[in-house]
Amino acid sequence: MANQAPLLTKREGPVAWVSFNRPDALNAINDGIREQLPLILADLDRESEVRVIVLNSSQLRSFSVGADIKEAPRSTPELQTGRGVSKGSWIESIAEVSKPVIASIAGYCLGGGLEMALACDIRIASPDASFALPEINLGLLPGGGGTQRLPSVVGLGRALDMMLTGERLNATRAYDIGLITRLSSSAETLFEETRDFANMLAAKSSTAAKLLKQSTLRGMDLQLAEGLRLERDLFGRLRHSPDSAEAAAAFTEKRAAAFHGAAMAQQRQEN
């Protein structure tokens, strides 16, 4: 078990799956995950045939229970700094992906596990999923983006409630407050439903998806006027793009649009 790969990757046409694979530790985050995840994501972001990335778990009991508490005492100050402050958190490598990234969550999604999910664009979960930022109970604060991202996802009051209590939310509650935006009909169908959803996203214009992400995520750090300028600039780039021309032609001809790259990826998947 000691040499088991902590992350598994799989390609299904335009969709790439990256799965946490430490079942005995409920996918607690160790140095293997911290080191490999940024490298894997950067590679997948460069691969033009990959249009959507899904982060999930190799089993249904847990997405991730956060930092490996048993490993913590062995961590050196150098590693901590490297992981966190000076180089930017490794969790940021998820938010830096230019393509849509989906977190597909079954079971526990706690601490750093939830912070990874928050760095994804879309969170889909099974009815048995549970969510918490329990760092307060370890005398810590969420240090992987939780204090910054959770308020913008669920609102300040709910975020502070979650972080100050460390309480666990079930999937229905998480859905009600917008922490997740999609619920699968059962744990067993989560994979299939995620796959259908990911393929649906992959069939859309990847150029539009990329610039839309850029406008939305960068815009959050800007004043409104600056954000609107950024949006206008990016919109201007899309207005005369081949994908936009294809969408207009498809509408006129009453057919489905075949966006640049999507048809090719689809064809390869079928072969």
Confirm or reject binding of residue 112 to ligand DAK (CB under 6 A): yes
Q: Say if CB 207 and CB 261 are below 8 A apart.
A: no
Confirm or reject binding of residue 84 to ligand DAK (CB under 6 A): yes
CB of 130 to ligand DAK, least distance (A): 8
For residues 49 to 68, the per-residue mask of contacts with ligand DAK, x marking binding by CB under 6 A and - elsewhere, is ----------------xxxx
Confirm or reject binding of residue 83 to ligand DAK (CB under 6 A): yes
- The tokens describing 206, both together, are 């990847």
Scan residues 21-50 and list those touching ligand DAK (CB under 6 A).
25-26, 28
The DSSP secondary-structure symbol of 222 reads S
Between the alpha carbon of residue 121 and those of residues 94, 103, 210, 231, 252, the distances in Å are 9, 8, 12, 18, 32
Side-chain half-sphere of 210: how many Cα atoms within 13 Å? 14
CB of 185 to ligand DAK, least distance (A): 23
Q: Say if CB 17 and CB 63 are below 8 A apart.
A: no
- The tokens describing 60, both together, are 């249904």
Between the alpha carbon of residue 69 and those of residues 25, 52, 57, 183, the distances in Å are 10, 31, 19, 29
Q: CA–CA separation, 32 vs 241, rounded Å?
A: 40
Using the contact rule CB under 6 A, the part of the chain among 82-90, 189-197, 198-206, 240-248 near ligand DAK is 82-90
Using the contact rule CB under 6 A, the part of the chain among 106-114, 156-164, 175-183, 231-239 near ligand DAK is 106-114
Q: Determine the size of the site formed for ligand DAK (CB under 6 A).
A: 22
Catalytic center residues: 115, 135
Would you tell me which residues interact with ligand DAK (CB under 6 A)?
25-26, 28, 65-70, 83-84, 89, 108, 110-112, 115, 134-135, 138, 143-144
